[in-house]
């Protein structure tokens, strides 16, 4: 019953993103609509045939650590082989290194489809993509030859090794060391934690991208360097040599995402561990941050895909399950109605639709900004795009993580008791999605990133860029009779948001602790404004399409979901701004000993 | 790290409930403060020694159905033996039938402690209590002799058999039949679903309380009768005879509450199944409803206990885990602070504290109303109390189910990645709590019960009674300087709520479907007003106690949590009323084919 809504994907990619945004750069000239649809056809087929069928099983029988190795359901490897054979590991990378130069927008749609089907198995290529991205951007040609090429081919997988048992949110405090050896390479010692895909026997090799400190460097985040640490040393000509000194210390047993191994790794404990410096010394964290936007958008996409899967399952169930009668038709002899007839079930479905399709619009928009930042030759346009992307990234990561999790909660509720059992996938999707507010920067960290950094930088240029884009769409919506009310509502919210932000920026100069105390509330508030914008845009396009020969049901649904978001969700932002406006110090004022 | 906050239990029982409410009736004369504390000491000891240690294991290794029997971890039976030996199965029942006549308030505190420790194992006595309650209220003396006495002794367990595979929320549509046999008893045929404790080998017998229709009766809910269906037939003098024709069809595999078996049962499929009519024919559902208040308060208590457990775990973690620095002290050479220092972690902890202790106040208050309804001799006072209890019950069931689940989500967030693993109990508590918005009437059903029935009946007497109680506490709070702002805020919210309710009642007379379309929003809104009331009351008592020699930290925490609820939570109710006031028809207007 997990179904990819291709009508909506078409709408999101081809109506919401003008051609120029989708594939307007020469690099992407192969990706016209026909080619994009063909890619997604292939993705959907592989996802449904190879990824979906074992999703429930790997959740129930998670990978185990036995005899120093990881045992995973063989179907995971089979699915990844099909993914590799389709050339999808090369999505986005340069042709020079074997890639297919797929636009980030299209790669996002591909990601979305595989995550819907089986987020656990999809984890391996996504991590590989992130690791390979770092090498593509900052590695030497030799490193690209040795590691990037086999990753693009899907023969080597990758991981990101940032966190440690005692340093998660605070990377400044990592203790993993990298000491220069006589051969010009480094010896890595330390422990890493929460490493997704940290070990497995599926790929020929694993390329760990490791953050470590070179002794004598600056303290804190400015003394962090980035290293390639392969599981097996490469001995030239693509030949695999001995095991490197990175060892699996144990697997974490999680409540979800159970198909993706998550490991504690020891570096250089029994066997010396060789690491190869990427780029320059002490620049590791800045490299990571330059790839962080994509990684964080990827988390938001995963969260959205999980909610999309739950939405489809609960929608199908609601159409078929008879139960109860309308409040004005209680005659017990009358037949029962399908539960989709009940207002509260429609609310639960509308909330899911609003979260899924609102988030998806934002994520594809952000992906199009990633493409523009990479390809745009005009430095002013590029800079403006980058500023906007920087601002939107914490929202693109967090809003879906919070509200698409809520959508998964609603999917269970639609199914009632059945939803609480393993007979349906909705409980698993809910467990999976609970990870997303935690990894790649917790919800709280995203709030601090947004309010304490992104909003403040360049004199508020990010918010200015956002406001410009929103107002252009407000004007367009204003011309449509049924949407002008929503348009002016969004304009008011935007104006108030800017005023609130100014207050916070002023306050931060004096008392950053007080100004940032409600940063998470700011994150959720601005997120709602941004998603409202995405819905207004969708409704505007739908209203225009309704006048033509478009799918009337589909377009009416878009307008109704927009209305839902504006009536049920957006007003919450005003309540949140009241709290922010008065620099509410309730949480700061609560003393630890009072708990 | 799961710890019972006995200081708060003392506050909730002895400060929040005046003596007259707690044990003011002659029936409860044995329960003075010393006796109540002794009961809770015993409960805490048994809960921590016998219930808590196997909680994680039964979650991981749920009961299995093998060779027609249910296999459960032996420690579940051991724990229940300790519970039985303490006499707790008899809590609340008449001494005549072997009970200890414990007030419902104290029994609720007992429940709360066991649910915190292990909600799965605690499920068996709680279900037994509910089933025994029905027999105590409506059974014949012979039925009491045969079934109630051994249940009160903890030798027989009980279940509630309402739902069927095709009838969950809509009990009018159950199809289980009861046909009169020559011996004057009934033969039951049909299938029941979601039967918690539906089968096990721990107790000597299982007493199923089964809803079924006697052919020829009125259609719908008015043709439902209640039957005792024992697993083993009783042949007189307390002797157990042959197996009755009730058979385990299968166990449901749930995402939580995994220690409590949940079964599909077949009645009279291969072997005839004997059922004994309880009370009169066709009155089964009204009997159920008269016991429903307690059952629903019990669900709220379970939800609150799960959140309390998560709160304690996350609080202990937050005090100990060093991570990061303050926004105004970023020097990487300075040492890290415990995460409880961060405003956002305090928010996550305050949100949990506000949910747990706010809900607990409401639940104990409702339990005191249950005691009053049973014991009060003045019919006018009794009627007023009953009306108030009827109104508050859907809130007491639903508010904790929704917001204490949210609290469990926050507990995971405080622990970050660790919270997502099985190394800590917070992920399990979150999975457990996801059940509570579903069973004993879903969240949506509670909304319809509240707005469509409880608010409407007796010309709005329930809301009037509630308003009277709230305003008395508002006046008391008004006399305390720091609380008068909160007091007038609550008074405004109450006034607006009454106005909104009047609009909805008027609208319902014309168009019930439109008036009830946002019943769930009404439920959440009124719930927030009621919990704000509970917090204002707690803060008032705490402010008074602060003037004396009370625990200054504890009392300051109460006032801070009240402030949190009024600043971060209560304002949401106004946004919800705006939706209700305009009879928002967004959900009703969404056509099924538009999804």
Each residue's pLDDT tens digit, B526-582: 999 999 999 999 999 999 999 998 999 999 999 999 999 999 999 999 999 999 999
- For residue A559, the model assigns a pLDDT of 98
B contacts of A431 (beta carbons < 8 Å): 255, 431
Question: Is this model's pTM higher than 0.95 or not?
Answer: yes
Check A517 against B220: CB less than 8 A apart: no
Give the chain B residue whose CA is nearest to the CA of A438: B416
Q: CA-CA distance, A154 to A46, in Å (whole number)?
A: 16
Yes or no: say if A446 and A421 are a contact pair by the CB < 8 Å rule. no
The residue from A164, A384, A440, A569 that is catalytic is A440
A contacts of B167 (beta carbons < 8 Å): 323
Yes or no: say if A573 and B571 are a contact pair by the CB < 8 Å rule. no
Residues contacting A154, CB < 8 A, separation 6+? A80, A83, A84, A88, A89, A90, A125, A128, A203
Nearest CA to B133 out of B397, B374, B361, B376 is that of B374
Nearest to B595 among A315, A518, A590 (CB): A315
Q: CA-CA distance, B366 to B307, in Å (whole number)?
A: 19
Taking all residues of chain B, what is their mean pLDDT, rounded to a whole number? 96
> Encoding tokens for residue A186?
């480094």
Nearest CA to A190 out of A216, A213, A222 is that of A213
Q: CA-CA distance, A124 to A154, in Å (whole number)?
A: 10
- For residue A416, the model assigns a pLDDT of 97
Q: CA-CA distance, B173 to B161, in Å (whole number)?
A: 14
- CA distances A326 to A416, B105, B567, Å, are 18, 37, 38
Check B560 against A589: CB less than 8 A apart: yes
Alpha helices in A139-185 (DSSP H): 141-143, 149-152
Check A512 against B448: CB less than 8 A apart: no
A contacts of B542 (beta carbons < 8 Å): none
Rounded average pLDDT over B219-228? 95
Each residue's pLDDT tens digit, A258-278: 999 999 999 999 999 999 999
Nearest CA to A515 out of A503, A524, A527 is that of A503
Nearest to A344 among B252, B350, B519 (CB): B519
Determine the number of helices (DSSP H) and then strands (DSSP E) in chain B: 21, 12
> Encoding tokens for residue A101?
């130069």
Check A520 against B553: CB less than 8 A apart: no
Nearest to B333 among A219, A324, A586 (CB): A219
- For residue A55, the model assigns a pLDDT of 98
Q: CA-CA distance, A318 to A323, in Å (whole number)?
A: 10
Tell me if residue A387 falls in helix, strand or coil. helix
Nearest to B420 among A255, A575, A589 (CB): A255
Check B586 against A563: CB less than 8 A apart: yes
A contacts of B511 (beta carbons < 8 Å): 328
- For residue B176, the model assigns a pLDDT of 98
Beta-carbon pairs below 8 A across chains A and B: 268
Residues contacting B585, CB < 8 A, separation 6+? B514, B517
Yes or no: say if B222 and B207 are a contact pair by the CB < 8 Å rule. no
Nearest to B194 among A194, A331, A417 (CB): A417
Yes or no: say if B226 and B278 are a contact pair by the CB < 8 Å rule. yes
Yes or no: say if A91 and A110 are a contact pair by the CB < 8 Å rule. yes
Q: What is the ipTM of this complex?
A: 0.98
> Encoding tokens for residue B250?
């299968």
> Encoding tokens for residue A272?
């010396």
> Encoding tokens for residue B357?
């202790």
Q: CA-CA distance, A148 to A171, in Å (whole number)?
A: 26
B contacts of A167 (beta carbons < 8 Å): 323
Check A590 against B557: CB less than 8 A apart: yes
Check B324 against A169: CB less than 8 A apart: yes
Question: Concatenated DSSP letters for B104-127?
Answer: HHHHHHHHHHHHHH-HHHHHHHHH
Q: Is the dihedral of CA B103, B108, B111, B112 positive or negative?
A: negative
Check B513 against A220: CB less than 8 A apart: no
Q: CA-CA distance, A296 to A395, in Å (whole number)?
A: 9
Yes or no: say if A291 and A135 are a contact pair by the CB < 8 Å rule. no
Check B567 against A586: CB less than 8 A apart: yes
Rounded average pLDDT over B249-258? 96
Rounded average pLDDT over B471-499? 97
Nearest to B513 among A326, A348, A350 (CB): A326
Give the chain A residue whose CA is nearest to the CA of B322: A166
B contacts of A516 (beta carbons < 8 Å): 327, 343
- For residue A290, the model assigns a pLDDT of 82
Give the chain A residue whose CA is nearest to the CA of B402: A409
> How far from each other are the two terminal CA atoms of chain B, in whole angstroms?
46
Burial, A509: exposed, middle or buried (Cβ in 10 Å; 0-12, 13-18, 19+)?
exposed
Q: CA-CA distance, A14 to A22, in Å (whole number)?
A: 8
E strand or H helix that includes residue A516: none
Residue from A344, A513, A561 whose CB has the most chain B CBs within 10 Å, to mutate = A344
Check B328 against A512: CB less than 8 A apart: yes
Each residue's pLDDT tens digit, B298-346: 999 999 999 999 999 999 999 999 999 998 887 878 899 999 999 999 9
Give percent helix, percent strand, percent coil of chain A, each to the nearest 5. Answer: 65, 10, 25
Residue from B444, B551, B579 whose CB has the most chain A CBs within 10 Å, to mutate = B444
| A192-215 exposure pattern, b = at least 16 Cβ within 10 A, e = fewer | bbbbbbbbbebbebbbbbbbbbbe
Across the strands, what pairs with A225? A212
Nearest CA to A72 out of A4, A131, A118, A107 is that of A118
Check A347 against B221: CB less than 8 A apart: no
Q: CA-CA distance, A338 to A322, in Å (whole number)?
A: 4
> Encoding tokens for residue A447?
């709030």
B contacts of A590 (beta carbons < 8 Å): 346, 349-350, 557, 560, 564
Residues contacting A112, CB < 8 A, separation 6+? A9, A301, A304, A305, A308, A360, A363
Q: pLDDT band for position B490 (50/70/90)?
A: very high
The residue from B164, B294, B402, B440 that is catalytic is B440
Determine the number of helices (DSSP H) and then strands (DSSP E) in chain A: 21, 12
Yes or no: say if B449 and B430 are a contact pair by the CB < 8 Å rule. no
DSSP state of A378: -
Whether the per-residue pLDDT at B23 is higher than 80: the answer is no
Nearest to B417 among A315, A417, A438 (CB): A438
Determine the length of chain B.
595
- For residue B292, the model assigns a pLDDT of 85
- For residue B416, the model assigns a pLDDT of 97
Across the strands, what pairs with B226? B211
Tell me if residue B439 falls in helix, strand or coil. coil
E strand or H helix that includes residue A51: none
Give phi and psi for B245, each to the nearest 5: -80, 45
Q: Is the dihedral of CA A205, A209, A213, A215 positive or negative?
A: positive
Residue from A347, A349, A428, A523 whose CB has the most chain B CBs within 10 Å, to mutate = A347
Give the chain B residue whose CA is nearest to the CA of A592: B340
CA of A366, closest CA in chain B: separation in Å?
Answer: 25
Give the chain B residue whose CA is nearest to the CA of A574: B575
Tell me if residue B435 falls in helix, strand or coil. coil
DSSP state of A300: H
- For residue A195, the model assigns a pLDDT of 96
Q: CA-CA distance, A493 to B573, in Å (whole number)?
A: 19
* Intervals of chain A under pLDDT 70: none
Q: CA-CA distance, A222 to A297, in Å (whole number)?
A: 25
B contacts of A346 (beta carbons < 8 Å): 587-588, 590
Nearest CA to B264 out of B254, B277, B278 is that of B254
Each residue's pLDDT tens digit, A423-444: 999 999 999 999 999 999 999 9
Nearest to A586 among B345, B443, B564 (CB): B564
B contacts of A587 (beta carbons < 8 Å): 343-344, 346-347, 350, 564
Nearest to A417 among B168, B332, B430 (CB): B168
Check A575 against B575: CB less than 8 A apart: yes
Yes or no: say if B220 and B172 are a contact pair by the CB < 8 Å rule. yes
Number of neighbours of residue A171 by Cβ within 10 angstroms? 18
Task: Note if B357 is an active site residue.
Answer: no
Provide the strand spans (E) within A384-529: none
Check B516 against A327: CB less than 8 A apart: yes
CA of B43, closest CA in chain A: separation in Å?
Answer: 24
A contacts of B315 (beta carbons < 8 Å): 595
- CA distances B51 to B79, B128, B150, B204, Å, are 6, 17, 22, 21
Determine the length of chain A.
595
- CA distances B260 to A6, A158, B165, Å, are 41, 42, 19
Q: CA-CA distance, A156 to B70, in Å (whole number)?
A: 47
Give the chain B residue whose CA is nearest to the CA of A347: B587
Q: CA-CA distance, A532 to A566, in Å (whole number)?
A: 7
CA of B76, closest CA in chain A: separation in Å?
Answer: 22
Exposure of B300 in the CB half-sphere (CA atoms within 13 A): 33
Across the strands, what pairs with B260? none
Check A409 against B434: CB less than 8 A apart: yes
Yes or no: say if B22 and B14 are a contact pair by the CB < 8 Å rule. yes
Q: CA-CA distance, B359 to B365, in Å (whole number)?
A: 10
Q: CA-CA distance, A477 to A543, in Å (whole number)?
A: 9
């Amino acid at each position: 019953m997990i179904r990819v809504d291709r009508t909506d994907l078409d709408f999101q990619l081809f109506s919401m993103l003008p051609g120029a945004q989708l594939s307007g750069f020469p690099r992407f000239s192969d990706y016209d609509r026909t080619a994009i649809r063909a890619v997604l056809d292939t993705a959907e087929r592989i996802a449904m045939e190879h990824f979906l069928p074992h999703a429930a099983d790997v959740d129930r029988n998670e990978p185990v650590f036995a005899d120093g190795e990881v045992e995973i359901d063989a179907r995971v490897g089979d699915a990844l082989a099909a993914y590799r054979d389709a050339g999808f590991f090369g999505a986005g990378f340069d042709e020079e290194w074997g890639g297919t130069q797929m636009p980030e927008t299209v790669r996002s749609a591909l990601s979305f489809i595989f995550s819907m089907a089986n987020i656990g198995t999809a984890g391996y290529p996504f991590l590989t993509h992130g690791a390979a991205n770092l090498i593509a951007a900052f590695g030497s040609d030799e490193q690209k030859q040795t590691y990037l090429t086999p990753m693009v081919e899907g023969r080597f997988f990758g991981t990101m090794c940032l966190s440690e048992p005692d340093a998660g949110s605070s990377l400044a405090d990592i203790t993993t060391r990298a000491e220069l050896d006589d051969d010009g390479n480094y010896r890595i010692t330390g422990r890493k934690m929460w490493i997704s895909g940290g070990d497995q026997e599926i790929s020929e090799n694993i390329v760990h991208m490791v953050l470590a400190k070179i002794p004598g460097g600056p303290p804190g985040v400015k003394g962090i360097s980035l290293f390639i640490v392969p599981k097996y040393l490469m001995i030239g000509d693509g030949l695999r040599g001995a095991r490197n000194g990175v060892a699996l210390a144990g697997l974490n047993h999680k409540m979800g995402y159970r198909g993706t191994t998550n490991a504690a790794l020891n570096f250089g404990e029994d066997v010396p561990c060789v690491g190869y410096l990427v780029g320059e010394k002490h620049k590791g964290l800045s490299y990571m941050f330059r790839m962080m936007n994509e990684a964080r958008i990827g988390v938001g996409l995963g969260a959205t895909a999980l909610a999309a899967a739950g939405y489809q399952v609960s929608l199908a169930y609601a159409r078929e399950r008879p139960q109860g009668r309308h409040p004005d038709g209680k005659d017990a002899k009358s037949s029962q109605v399908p539960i989709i007839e009940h207002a509260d079930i429609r609310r639960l479905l509308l909330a899911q639709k609003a979260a899924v399709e609102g988030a998806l619009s934002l994520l594809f928009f952000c992906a199009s900004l990633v493409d523009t930042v990479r390809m745009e030759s005009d430095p002013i346009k590029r800079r403006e795009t980058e500023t906007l992307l920087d601002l939107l990234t914490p929202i693109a990561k967090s809003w879906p993580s919070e509200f698409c999790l809520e959508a998964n909660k609603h999917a269970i509720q639609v199914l009632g008791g059945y939803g609480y059992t393993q007979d349906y996938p909705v409980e698993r999707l809910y467990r999976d999605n609970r990870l997303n507010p935690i990894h790649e920067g917790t919800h709280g960290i995203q709030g601090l990133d947004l309010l304490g950094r992104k909003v403040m930088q360049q004199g508020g240029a990010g918010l200015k860029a956002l406001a410009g884009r929103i107002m252009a769409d407000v004007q367009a919506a204003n011309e449509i009779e049924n949407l002008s009310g929503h348009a002016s509502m969004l304009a008011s919210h935007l104006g108030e948001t800017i005023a609130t932000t100014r207050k916070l920026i002023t306050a931060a100069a004096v008392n950053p602790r007080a100004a940032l105390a409600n940063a998470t509330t700011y994150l959720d508030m601005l997120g709602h404004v941004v998603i409202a914008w995405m819905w207004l845009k969708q409704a505007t396009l739908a209203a225009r399409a309704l006048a033509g020969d478009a799918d009337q049901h589909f377009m009416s649904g878009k307008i109704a979901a927009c209305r839902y978001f504006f009536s049920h969700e957006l007003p919450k932002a005003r309540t949140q701004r009241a709290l922010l406006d008065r620099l509410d110090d309730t949480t700061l004022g609560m003393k630890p000993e009072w708990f």
